[in-house]
Structure 1
Amino acid sequence: MIRPDGSAVTGLDATKTRVVGRPGEQLRLMAKIARMYHLRGMRQNEIAAELHLSQARVSRLLKRAAEVGIVRTTVIAPPGVQTELEEQLEQRYQLQEAVVVNVSGDEEAVIPAIGAAAAVHLENTLMGSEVVGISTWSANLLATVESMRPATTRVVEKVVQLMGGMGDPIAQVEATRIMTAFSSATGADPVFLAAPCLLGSASARDILTADPTLTRVTALWDELTTVLVGVGTLEPSPLLRSSGNAVAPDDQAMLRGAGAVGDVCMRFFDADGKPVDSSLDERIIGIRESQLRAVPRRIGVAGGLRKLTALRGALHGGWINVLVTDIDTAQALLES
């Protein structure tokens, strides 16, 4: 090839001149390589050998083919998979991850499906050496742990109870079921909190929490890597009501007057997710808000439109950063 000044063009200069001078040939080559790689399944070194090109150039042309639109990636979600809805929730509420279950109905109808989805999420993401905290008052969490399959290796070091679990004997049974089922599935050592959740006075709480038996448990709340929690409404669920730990009507009225709409681990918040300051906080034996927020991964498992206002508040306030919910609730969260 000869330049206009009469000098010869050789080597790399010649290659650059051919590319610039023949854009149609460049596009043809990109399309050919893209078809060989993506449709025929050939490796880059095989393409390079067949077309007498360097493998580095094949790699560059494949990258360029994607940049100019010759190659386009299309992801088609299988039926029932709500990846687009999940991404919208993640962006709207700054979540680490959202899992949306393709199930509709009232709260009781969606609980088994939400629990099963949360179980799969945990099976896929618990990587070992974790210290996990669990809120023990949630039908969703009970459905979750009972759906978990035993791990082939130990994926959690300890599972720690986040709230007191004694009151009515039914309460201790439910708390033990959740902790034991999770421990069995993950290989974790269970650490129970042998105390009531809600006491009659702040002084009674102070006396109990100073006991070394409890401090050995509560000290672990600062070591948590993941928490698994439900999201409660101001009106207690049937499970919480049966536990003997439900908030009394007078306290409910006080919380409602302060703007409370829901709770995580019996720490109440308003519609914007801001903590509600009340005397109830000082009567609770359970993880504090500051400790909860310090946990890197906070998985909330909740669904049903009855919980919409509480769930929206929990998301706005950053009480949870991973959400597992049903499709109706997810859509309502995006519409608000």
Structure 2
Amino acid sequence: MTKVARLYHEQGLRQPAIADKLHLSQSRVSRLLKEAVAAGIVRTVVVPPEGVHPDLEDELQHLFGLDDVVVADPSDDDDASILNALGAAAAVYLETSLTGGQRVGLSSWSATLLATVDAMSPKTVRTATEIVQVIGGVGAPGVQVMATRLTDRLARVTGAVPRYLAAPGVVSSRSGRDALLDDPFVAEVAELWNDLSVVLVGIGSVQPSPLLRNSGNSLSESETGALRDAGAVGDICLRFFDDQGRVIDSDLHERVLGISTEQLFDVPRRVGVAGGARKFEAIRAALRGGWLSVLVTDVATARRLLADA
């Protein structure tokens, strides 16, 4: 048995050659190889290449009950390197997991999501049916178009039909939001939120990044202050939650024109892309609250999540 195993695994001989060499039948050689594995004589060892972290991914998946985890390994610990690594990792995940029949929801303008779609390459076959914008643009009117551009870009690389939400993400009152939802074009897109296969989201912290703040694509100082006072540590699609992932009580939620918390949780595959020290509390809270089924993050954040879950 050991001789057969060594000839096959160490010397690279094929089973017919081993059979001729040892005067055995091929079926006998095949049985001996299987028995060698069962007896522990042959053990398979997978050595991950540098920059791949399957153990971290498995531990996070088990700890938070996730369906999948992708851990990116940035070339450096600065924000730009982390962003590029997250975008590249999320792009590979989407390119390998979208099979062509999914209706994909996409949250509003996000640096990580922009990096993701920019890293994706157009395919010769369609990998999604529709890309549905699940929240309006946020911030200054000139910046709100970024959400539309993000939807358009992902639709083009997947060969899908883009479904735009031509409305702001936050309005001044609940009645204003309801009036917009009565618009037939807005209502048509909003109806699709009930039947998404996948949703791709960023994870926001209450304190916006300098990029978001300078772009005007963020809430006002008074709004973020009120959210912090209410215990918010982060958001997904402008649905803010505390450090345990529980939705906080805020009238802002009644003014958001976008997918509801209930609709979001009903999506079978919820893919969150986020990393970096500034986002840690928000990512951890989102995982604690079950907001995600798939996480794409960086290696430093992954290790910190395991150490401080």
Would you say the 8 A contact 1:115–1:140 is kept in 2? yes
Query: Is residue 2:71 matched to residue 1:100?
Result: yes
Q: What whole-Å deviation, never above 9, does each CA across 1:111-165 have from its counterpart, x for those lacking one? A: 1121112112211111111111111221011111111111121111110101112
Q: Which residue of 1 aligns with 2:195?
A: 223
2:294 maps to 1:322: yes
| 1:259 alignment partner, SS class | coil
Greater CA radius of gyration, 1 or 2? 1
- Residue 63 (1) aligns with residue 34 (2): yes
Q: 1:174 to 1:239 in 2, by over 3 A?
A: farther
Moved more, 83-92 or 134-143: 83-92
Q: Of 234, 254, 268, which aligns to 2:206?
A: 234
Which runs of 5 or more structure 2 residues have no equivalent in the other structure?
A: none
Structure 1 unaligned residues grouped into runs of 5+: 1-29
TM superposition score normalised by structure 2: 0.91
Which has the higher mean CA deviation after the structures are superposed, 187-196 or 171-180? 171-180
Residue 52 of structure 1 and its aligned partner are, at CA, apart by 5.7
Match of 1:260, SS state, is coil
Moved over 6 A (4+): none
Give 1:213 shift: 1.2
Say whether residues 1:113 and 2:85 are aligned partners.
yes
311, 319, 322: which is aligned to 2:283?
311
**CA distance 1:258–1:54, change in 2 (3 Å):** farther
Distance 2:289 2:33 in 1: 45
Equivalent position of 2:157 in the other structure: 185
Task: State the Cα distance separating 1:230 from its structure 2 match.
Answer: 0.5
Farther off after superposition, 49-58 or 126-135: 49-58
Pairwise CA RMSD: 2.1
Residue matched to 1:151: 123
State the identity %.
52
1:159 partner SS: strand
Equivalent residue number for residue 106 of structure 2: 134
Count of paired positions: 307
Q: Distance in 2 between matches of 1:136 and 1:239?
A: 15
Deviation at 1:68, TM superposition (A): 2.2
Matches within 5 A, 1:1-336: 30-44=1-15, 47=18, 51=22, 57-103=28-74, 104-165=76-137, 167-242=139-214, 244=216, 246-336=218-308
Distance 1:49 1:307 in 2: 62
Q: SS in structure 1 opposite 2:129?
A: strand
Structure 1 distance, partners of 2:217, 2:144, is 11
The 2-side partners of 1:86 and 1:331 are apart by 10
